[in-house]
Amino acid sequence: MSLFLLLISKNNVSLTSEELQAAYRNATSTKPPEERLTSHILIEENDSRTLEEARVLAQSLKERIDAGAMLDDLAREFSG
């Protein structure tokens, strides 16, 4: 709400407290909840991989993703 107040004050808009609360309720009630889907590849140090090997693998995967590889495909290949 502080950002909302800042934007109003920078534009020299004068609102009563009730008008501000009504505008805030309207703004927050009309937006659907944001939903994001995420994917990840867990690369960890373990008995068969040193920390440095994990870092090298992570960098290699990042480069492949930056070059256009699909994260989902890499996750299937490197997970588990």
Query: What pLDDT, in 10s, does the model give residues 39-79?
Result: 788 888 889 989 999 889 999 999 999 999 998 899 888 87
What mean pLDDT do residues 25-48 have? 79
pLDDT at residue number 30: 67
Q: What SS3 state is found at 45?
A: coil
Q: Is the pTM of this model over 0.75?
A: no
Domain chopping of the chain, boundaries:
1-35, 38-80
Stronger pLDDT, 26 or 63, i.e. the higher one? 63
Tell whether the model's pLDDT for residue 6 goes beyond 50: no
- Provide DSSP, 44-60: --BTTB-HHHHHHHHHH
Burial class (CB in 10 A: 0-12, 13-18, 19+), 17: exposed
